[in-house]
Amino acid sequence: MSFLSLNQVSHQYFSEKNYTKALDNINMTVEEGSFISILGPSGCGKTTLLSIVSGLIRPTRGEVRLAGKQVQDTEAEIGYMLQQDYLFPWKTILENVLIGPKIQQKQTSAIKPKAIEFLKEIGLENVINAYPAELSGGMRQRAALIRTLITDPMLLLLDEPFSALDYQTKLKLEDLVSNLLKEFHKTSVLVTHDIGEAIAMSDQIYLMKANPGKIAEVFEVPIELRNLSPFQARKHLKYQLLFDRIWEELNTLESKHHV
Ligand SMILES: Nc1ncnc2c1ncn2[C@@H]1O[C@H](COP(=O)(O)OP(=O)(O)O)[C@@H](O)[C@H]1O
Ligand SMILES: [Mg+2]
């Protein structure tokens, strides 16, 4: 049995006059400890898919199972990180990180030292008592990641967390995040429209197409790349080869769509 599975998941949004078929018959299996990317153009249903996996919205059809349970019954065990950091501006970085444990009433005496240790590990030791406005975008996203990890979620969902950052910051953060998630053996699903990021970070890539949102193809990332940091992976020949395959597939999907 897989750690996470989506079985024939479809979703439609209804409004008074019409409806949008956002997802059509999505099937996925994710092994524990692996890193999966969902890659596709804007509007293909990526965020809808993550919201369904997180249990925030219930699919029109199908089911999501996490560690043998229906996902609706697993609430607090899923960490969700978005493109925008949503840190509270009136709270310090440390206070922001401690919000999750506080809400979940898991605030033990060990949690504060753990938060400080995590913040150090991700290079934020000098801004623990600073306010979000005093930090760069990359630093805020790092704080948001720690806030997500501190509750030790069994599954981490990342919705384009690097897409608002400049290129250099993004490359650095990819390495940091990848290291941290490997160290803690986290199972993660990343949504992105960046082919290179998907290849550099993942074990498997689910390529989606739009109208309706469907999985067009699943790519296995070669083991040589998985063993490298995202930055090093980008320089490997096999990275380029996989990039070209995905690029071609995306172009084929687009041209089919326009006829
Ligand atoms: N709350 C909503 N109500 C109605 N339609 C929505 C809603 N959210 C998304 N959609 C539509 O569903 C489709 C998929 O959207 P979304 O999941 O946000 O895609 P992506 O994250 O890949 O850009 C789009 O056509 C979008 O307009
Ligand atoms: Mg989206």
Q: Which residue owns the Cα nearest ligand 1 atom 7?
A: 13
Q: What is the pTM of this model?
A: 0.91
**H or E element: which one contains 249?**
helix 237-258
- pLDDT interval class at 70 (50, 70, 90): confident
List b or e across 232-248, with b for residues whose CB sees 16 or more CB atoms inside 10 angstroms: ebbebeebeebbeebee
Q: Give me the pLDDT at residue 166, please.
A: 87
Reply yes or no on whether the pLDDT at 98 is more than 80: yes
Q: Regarding beta strands 19-30 and 187-192, do their DSSP bridges make them parallel or antiparallel, or are they unpaired?
A: unpaired
How far apart are alpha carbons 11 and 63 in whole angstroms? 11
- Structure confidence by residue, pLDDT tens digits, 133-165: 999 999 999 999 999 889 889 999 999 998 888
Q: What is the mean pLDDT of residues 119-124?
A: 90
C-beta separation of 59 from 82 below 8 A: no
Cα angle 116-120-165, degrees, rounded to a multiple of 5: 115
Distance 162 CA to ligand 2 centre (A): 13
Q: Which residue owns the Cα nearest ligand 1 atom 26?
A: 43
More confident residue, 50 or 100: 50
Q: Give me the pLDDT at residue 151, please.
A: 86
- Structure confidence by residue, pLDDT tens digits, 27-62: 999 999 999 999 998 899 999 999 999 988 999 999
Looking at the CA of 41, name the nearest ligand.
1
DSSP 107: -
Nearest ligand 1 atom to the CA of 51 is 17
Q: Which residue owns the Cα nearest ligand 1 atom 6?
A: 13
- Amino acid at position 72, single letter: Q
Distance 56 CA to ligand 2 centre (A): 14
C-beta separation of 248 from 259 below 8 A: no
Looking at the CA of 83, name the nearest ligand.
2
Question: Residue 66 corresponds to which tokens in the numbers above?
Answer: 């996490």
CA distances from 58 to 47, 70, 203 (A): 13, 11, 27
Distance 12 CA to ligand 1 centre (A): 9
- Nearest C-alpha neighbor of 114 from the set 127, 93, 129, 97: 97
Q: In what order do the strands lie in the sheet with 155-159?
A: 78-81, 155-159, 187-192, 35-39, 204-209, 214-220
Nearest ligand 1 atom to the CA of 48 is 17
**DSSP calls for 121-173:** HTT-GGGTTS-GGGS-HHHHHHHHHHHHHTT--SEEEEESTTTTS-HHHHHHH
**Which residues crowd ion ligand 2, with CB under 5 Å?**
46-47
Q: Which residue owns the Cα nearest ligand 1 atom 12?
A: 22
- pLDDT interval class at 256 (50, 70, 90): confident
Distance 152 CA to ligand 2 centre (A): 24
Q: Which residue owns the Cα nearest ligand 1 atom 5?
A: 13
C-beta separation of 199 from 242 below 8 A: yes
Reply yes or no on whether the pLDDT at 75 is more than 70: no
Residue with tokens 């249990």: 55
- pLDDT interval class at 76 (50, 70, 90): low
Distance 159 CA to ligand 2 centre (A): 7
Ligand 1 site residues (CB inside 6 A) read: 13, 20, 22, 40, 42-48
